[in-house]
């Protein structure tokens, strides 16, 4: 046995590759090894399908608006409570979903539990339709809402765990696009499915129930993906010797009092903009049928354009915003374009494909530009609280405005509903302009271009390095030099000497 070199450490340090489990045979192939790109991208497909069912079923009411109102004998206001009941639990769960995944269930078990909530909620929703019990349908949407938003948090956590530092931005863009595909498929499939079932069963609440079971099938697919993800993540954790993923969210309600005015303006924009988009899509089917004389299939196709465009545009627009910066400018532009689209739909009879296609682009642009601004103004240790609070207020706004929008349609019609949405967009525009002005007064940090932000960060790093260098080579006082000399030669310091006394001498107080 060779003698160890005298300069080698007594205890050898093991590399991370030595800690990892060695694989052989099929397990070491590119498709099965979690260290290989191919395996990670196979897992990515499971991550994308994890939320497919929840996004597909979220807009089941929008795709079947006419059928639900006719078969269940409800007005528009009552119909819109199906969206309100989804949002109510998320007013609270947005704060605690990450905590439950991190501290209570763990990411793997938590994903399965929330997937089961989504599946159970859709099943109750379908059973309520088959039994002609609208209150049971509302209860199903409530249960569905408990799992829906938290499942999205779990999906993001898996993405970060598997792709941190490796194509993560692309993965988030692909996730968003795939989610919109689920919404688009729902809009274009559910009405034909209802018509096909009605040829065998006849129209009525029984047919509606059978159609909603199709949505339950997509939720079952998502649950299966959750189970597979849990298995592969546990296997990867064993092989790579890593812990299960965590959301990283830290929620402290008391942090809210320290948030600046710009954060509250961003929250106003978030609520005022999204309440003019999602409730409109929820009511869009009948609007396009009545105003533009479209058949149900064409009306659903138009109504789904926002999601179709978003699926393709989100990664591209995200890349553009990343490269250019100017987030506040893009936010204001997105609000203005959406405002123009609603005005076209309200006051003209132009082909609705035009307005809805443009709205899909502006909707994607706002999402890409608005949410990252929070990270510019809120410290990292408070981001969990900030995003949780924004989502909570957003869900509260969606719950209330959904009910109000339905009541407006029942009492005043769709024209006044569009005026109502225009008022909310005007509020978002005012908040956006105020955000721009306040930011400009404070130096324009939020609306910097990417080049300006990079230059500022580089200058700050250089200034910090120079400051550290000055501190490092700061001349010592005569007292400090004398004390250092005594310490070197082993002289005993007086008993009354301590660090506080030395600070007085450095300040010249006792000289």
Last residue of a domain, one of 196, 231, 249: 249
Q: What is the CA radius of gyration of the chain?
A: 29
3-state class (DSSP) for residue 35: coil
Does residue 22 form part of some domain?
Answer: no
Partnered with residue 325 across adjacent β-strands are: 449
3-state class (DSSP) for residue 468: helix
Q: Rounded CA gap, 102 and 95, in Å?
A: 13
Task: Decide: 463 and 469 in contact? Cβ < 8 Å.
Answer: no
Q: What is the pTM of this model?
A: 0.77
Does residue 78 form part of some domain?
Answer: yes
Last residue of a domain, one of 233, 249, 265: 249
> In terms of residue numbers, what domain contains 91?
31-249
From 15-29, 83-97, 255-269, 447-461, the region with the lowest mean pLDDT: 15-29
Does residue 15 form part of some domain?
Answer: no
- Orientation of helix 37-50 relative to helix 205-240, angle to 10°: 150
Residue 150's closest CA among 107, 192, 183, 193?
Answer: 107
Question: Which is it for the CA torsion 33, 37, 38, 41, positive or negative?
Answer: positive
Query: Would you state the structure tokens that stand for residue 225, as one six-digit string?
Result: 């993906």
Q: Are residues 314 and 350 in the same domain?
A: yes
Q: Rounded CA gap, 280 and 290, in Å?
A: 14
Does residue 120 form part of some domain?
Answer: yes
Q: Are residues 314 and 420 in the same domain?
A: yes
Q: What is the CATH number of the domain that holds 46?
A: 1.20.1250.20
Continuous H helices in 88-204:
90-99, 107-130, 134-163, 168-201
Q: Rounded CA gap, 29 and 23, in Å?
A: 9
Does residue 4 form part of some domain?
Answer: no
**Which residues have C-beta within 8 Å of that of residue 68, sequence separation ≥ 6?**
61, 74, 79, 82, 129, 208
As for how many domains the chain has, the answer is 3
Does residue 414 form part of some domain?
Answer: yes
Tell me the per-residue pLDDT of 336-365, one tens digit each, with 9 for 90 and over. Answer: 999 999 999 999 999 999 999 999 999 989
Tell me the per-residue pLDDT of 92-146, one tens digit each, with 9 for 90 and over. Answer: 887 777 677 767 788 889 899 999 999 999 999 999 999 999 999 999 999 999 9
Does residue 8 form part of some domain?
Answer: no
Please provide the average confidence, as pLDDT, over all residues in the chain: 82
Unique residue bearing structure tokens 């005012």: 430
- Cα 259-265-270 angle, rounded to 5 deg: 110
Length of the chain measured in residues: 511
Higher per-residue confidence, 253 vs 118? 118
Q: Are residues 438 and 380 in the same domain?
A: yes
Q: Are residues 237 and 312 in the same domain?
A: no
């Amino acid at each position: 046995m060779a003698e160890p070199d005298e300069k080698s450490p007594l205890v050898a340090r093991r590399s991370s590759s030595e800690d990892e489990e060695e694989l052989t045979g099929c397990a070491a192939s590119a498709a099965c090894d979690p260290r290989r790109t191919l395996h990670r991208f196979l897992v990515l497909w499971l991550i994308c399908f994890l939320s497919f069912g929840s996004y597909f079923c979220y807009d089941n009411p929008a795709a079947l608006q006419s059928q639900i109102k006719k078969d269940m004998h409800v007005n528009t206001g009552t119909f819109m409570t199906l969206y309100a009941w989804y949002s109510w639990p998320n007013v609270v769960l947005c704060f605690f979903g990450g905590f439950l995944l991190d501290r209570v269930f763990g990411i793997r078990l938590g994903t399965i539990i929330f997937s089961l909530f989504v599946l159970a909620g859709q099943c109750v929703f379908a059973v309520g339709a088959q039994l002609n019990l609208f209150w049971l349908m509302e209860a199903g949407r409530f249960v569905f809402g408990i799992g829906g938003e938290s499942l999205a948090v779990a999906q993001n956590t898996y993405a970060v765990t598997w792709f941190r530092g490796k194509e993560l931005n692309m993965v988030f863009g692909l996730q968003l696009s795939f989610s919109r595909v689920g919404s688009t498929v729902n809009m274009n499939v559910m009405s034909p499915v209802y018509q096909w079932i009605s040829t065998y069963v006849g129209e009525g609440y029984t047919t509606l129930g059978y159609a909603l079971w199709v949505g339950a099938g997509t939720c079952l697919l998502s649950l299966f993906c959750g189970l597979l993800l849990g298995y592969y993540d546990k296997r990867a954790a064993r092989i790579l010797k890593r812990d299960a993923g965590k959301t990283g969210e830290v929620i402290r309600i008391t942090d809210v009092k320290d948030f600046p005015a710009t954060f509250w303006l961003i929250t106003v924009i978030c609520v005022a903009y999204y309440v003019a988009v999602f409730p409109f899509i929820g009511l869009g089917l009948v609007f396009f049928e009545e105003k533009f004389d479209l058949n149900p299939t064409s009306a659903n196709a138009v109504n789904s354009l926002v999601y179709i465009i978003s699926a393709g545009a989100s990664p591209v627009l995200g890349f553009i915003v990343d490269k250019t910066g100017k987030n506040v400018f893009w936010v204001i532009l997105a609000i203005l374009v959406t405002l123009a689209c609603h005005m076209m739909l309200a006051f003209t009879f132009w082909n609705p494909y035009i307005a809805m296609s443009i709205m899909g682009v502006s909707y994607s642009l706002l999402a890409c530009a608005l949410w990252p601004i929070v990270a510019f103004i809120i410290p990292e240790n408070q981001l969990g609280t900030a995003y949780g609070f924004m989502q909570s207020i957003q869900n509260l706004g969606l719950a209330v405005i959904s009910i109000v929008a339905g009541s407006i349609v029942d009492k005043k019609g769709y024209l006044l509903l569009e005026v109502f949405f225009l008022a909310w967009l005007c509020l978002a525009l005012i908040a956006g302009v105020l955000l721009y002005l306040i930011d400009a007064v404070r130096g324009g940090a939020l609306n910097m271009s990417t080049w300006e932000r990079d230059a500022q960060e580089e200058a700050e790093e250089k200034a910090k390095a120079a400051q550290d260098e000055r501190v490092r080579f700061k001349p010592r006082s005569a007292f400090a030099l004398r004390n250092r000399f005594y310490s070197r030669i082993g002289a005993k310091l007086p008993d009354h000497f301590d660090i506080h006394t030395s600070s007085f001498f450095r300040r010249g107080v006792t000289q």
